[in-house]
Structure 1
């Protein structure tokens, strides 16, 4: 084989490689900036591509607001001796007669009623006094009620009532606490923080922890950190309350030229774009284009209209927010722009990366062609 023929073969091989690269493209992590901008509604696409600035940041800074309703916040702290369904009561009745006592045998002036359980509707039965509403009463209040019922039947009865907390005065604590279980409402555990402490404290990162309380079919939810900061959220508990401590379920997806490509859970109540990038290890210094940081999101119509200065959009709209970290205020804007649940944070590759890949492909092909030429000689 002549040298000219060999060179012709190499040239043909390179020509074929160029054709293949043009047809198939080189491997990459996703679309480039030009392809993303081509999807704009201004270019017959279906997404609004918006550059982030102070106005956009203010319009899109929506953080979930949690709290307890008035039925939770207005509830008074229970007395530590308040009777509830499921409690057990010990009652002693002293009668001021000897020969014919109302409750005891002849000559028996003292009668004991032990382990009288308050039923599910809050009632107890006392002989000759009948069925009485005990739930919601203190032992002293119930003593007066029984005394009034028995006084017309036996002279000057003297009564004592002792309460033993039962399963009716309990709350359930579950989820991300050290000790899940059913706990009685006692003097130290009459409020939410006291009960959480009784359960061993929160076992997950406080910055990502939510506390949910369900009572009579109604549920309130707050951030654990807000509970620490705002004493008014330390609500009084009621028998039957269910307390669940759970990790924040919000997340975003990181793709492209970042240190990690994955679904990332939120670690704090709010996550900015710069924090989201930091959570995945920052920009990949070998590949990332700092002028091409994008946040993909479906915006509700209200926010979409505010961002675009319109009032005609209906339903969720596709948005692509653009951040340029190299601009004079780029890092500040990325620090202030709030990432929301379900967002996709995407960083494009720098233009030279594709050029480097192309050169590497040509170089590998040229080496292979030289090897083939050497075999021919």
Structure 2
């Protein structure tokens, strides 16, 4: 059997390995820029490819709706002395006789501690009967009791004190120093006061969100906005539920970046530049600065503004393209707002594919020489 020359063996091995490489494809983190463009609605795909400019930035700079409804903002603070169902009262009755109706022997004063206002708003006082207390102030209730007892004992003097009770309470949960149910009293009739009563927040303030639930209505604000805008320090109502949570928004970074991972927001708003900085920026050895994509399912209204079309229905897949090599590229990236659920994908530079191919060829040539040496031996 005739043996092939060493050069022929090397050539056959090289061709075979190149064919295998071409068939399997070179390793890479994802699609390149031309392949993403092939997914455009103008070609074979179902996504809109949009180059970012100032108009696009204005149309997409949508801040998630937050704030309190008008019913929360317009509610006046609850009077701290108003008696409510469930409150506990302290009553003292002074009688102007030696042998009074309520006072014990050798005393002219009777003390009734912890008189509970029932669910209907009434209390019971011996010899005065059942008296409506809810809705009255301690002074108003004093006059009612005095009037009832005046017919039983001469010139009674009554003192009424509203003790800390559970008539008007608020529950506070989440990232606070002390979770629990707190009575609405003079120092904590507003949201900020109640948070202070609960020990303050224990999560980073820049990503803390406060939700207030009142019946079937709710509102949510940023903790920092509570102190920036006094109108958000709303008056609380009985039964309010306050929840303090850390911001759960995130985005995903993929491709030729310093780090590929899921990333949580660390500020109320985040630009494309800030998002890239959070994952270590662009890989200087791999990234294509002309091919930075932000992939998003855009709501109908915003998609119509971005694409200047009124015929779009429902959410639209949009791939926004940022080119940092343009004169205003960095400014546009700085102004482009990242939103919850976005995917930030950085493509590889075209030359990286050739370097990988050359690396394969170099390795192939070395393998061919080794094979040739083996055959010759």
Question: Quick check: 2:81–2:162 contact (8 Å CA) kept in 1?
Answer: yes
Structure 2 match to 1:337 = 336
TM-score w.r.t. length of structure 2? 0.93
Query: Is the partner of 2:266 in helix, strand or coil?
Result: coil
Question: Quick check: 1:83–1:139 contact (8 Å CA) kept in 2?
Answer: yes
Correspondence 1:194 to 2:202 = no
- Structure 1 gaps of 5+ residues are none
Residue 2 of structure 1: how far off its partner (Å): 9.6
Partner deviation per Cα, 1:190-248 (whole Å, 9 max, x = no partner) = 22112222323221111111011122332221011111100111112233322111011
Identify the range of structure 1 (101-110 vs 228-237) with the bigger mean alpha-carbon deviation: 101-110
Structure 1 match to 2:209 = 210
Query: Against the structure 1 CA distance between its residues 132 and 218, is the aligned structure 2 distance closer, same or farther, given a 3 Å change threshold?
Result: farther
Residue 138 of structure 1: how far off its partner (Å): 2.5
Q: How does 1:132-211 map to 2 (within 5 A)?
A: 132-211=131-210
Q: How does 1:310-329 map to 2 (within 5 A)?
A: 310-329=309-328
Residue 104 of structure 1: how far off its partner (Å): 5.3
| Structure 2 CA distance for aligned equivalents of residues 48 and 72 of structure 1 | 41
Question: Quick check: 2:123–2:132 contact (8 Å CA) kept in 1?
Answer: yes
What is the CA RMSD across the aligned residues, in angstroms?
A: 2.2
Q: How does 1:48-197 map to 2 (within 5 A)?
A: 48-98=48-98, 101-103=100-102, 109-197=108-196
Query: Is the partner of 2:346 in helix, strand or coil?
Result: strand
Residue 358 of structure 1: how far off its partner (Å): 1.0
Residue 105 of structure 1: how far off its partner (Å): 7.2
| Structure 2 CA distance for aligned equivalents of residues 131 and 349 of structure 1 | 82
| Structure 1 CA distance for aligned equivalents of residues 102 and 202 of structure 2 | 54
Residue 148 of structure 1: how far off its partner (Å): 3.0
Structure 1 match to 2:238 = 239
Structure 2 match to 1:350 = 349
Question: Quick check: 2:94–2:103 contact (8 Å CA) kept in 1?
Answer: no
Partner deviation per Cα, 1:355-374 (whole Å, 9 max, x = no partner) = 11111111122212211222
Query: Against the structure 1 CA distance between its residues 314 and 252, is the aligned structure 2 distance closer, same or farther, given a 3 Å change threshold?
Result: same
Structure 1 match to 2:285 = 286
Query: Against the structure 1 CA distance between its residues 2 and 80, is the aligned structure 2 distance closer, same or farther, given a 3 Å change threshold?
Result: farther
Residue 152 of structure 1: how far off its partner (Å): 4.1
| Structure 1 CA distance for aligned equivalents of residues 65 and 280 of structure 2 | 29
Partner deviation per Cα, 1:48-80 (whole Å, 9 max, x = no partner) = 101011111111111112111222222222333
Query: Against the structure 1 CA distance between its residues 195 and 29, is the aligned structure 2 distance closer, same or farther, given a 3 Å change threshold?
Result: same
| Structure 2 CA distance for aligned equivalents of residues 136 and 265 of structure 1 | 48
| Structure 2 CA distance for aligned equivalents of residues 224 and 293 of structure 1 | 33
| Structure 1 CA distance for aligned equivalents of residues 135 and 30 of structure 2 | 65
Residue 151 of structure 1: how far off its partner (Å): 3.3
Structure 1 match to 2:22 = 22
Partner deviation per Cα, 1:316-356 (whole Å, 9 max, x = no partner) = 11111110011011111111111111111100011111111
Query: Is the partner of 1:18 in helix, strand or coil?
Result: helix
Query: Is the partner of 2:5 in helix, strand or coil?
Result: helix
| Structure 1 CA distance for aligned equivalents of residues 128 and 66 of structure 2 | 48
| Structure 2 CA distance for aligned equivalents of residues 120 and 272 of structure 1 | 54
Query: Against the structure 1 CA distance between its residues 216 and 123, is the aligned structure 2 distance closer, same or farther, given a 3 Å change threshold?
Result: farther
Query: Against the structure 1 CA distance between its residues 2 and 226, is the aligned structure 2 distance closer, same or farther, given a 3 Å change threshold?
Result: farther
| Structure 1 CA distance for aligned equivalents of residues 147 and 76 of structure 2 | 28
Question: Quick check: 1:296–1:345 contact (8 Å CA) kept in 2?
Answer: yes
Structure 2 match to 1:309 = 308
Structure 1 match to 2:7 = 7
Structure 1 match to 2:47 = 47
| Structure 2 CA distance for aligned equivalents of residues 133 and 89 of structure 1 | 13
Residue 83 of structure 1: how far off its partner (Å): 2.8
Identify the range of structure 1 (332-341 vs 127-136) with the bigger mean alpha-carbon deviation: 127-136
Query: Is the partner of 1:278 in helix, strand or coil?
Result: helix
- Structure 2 gaps of 5+ residues are none
Question: Quick check: 2:133–2:141 contact (8 Å CA) kept in 1?
Answer: yes
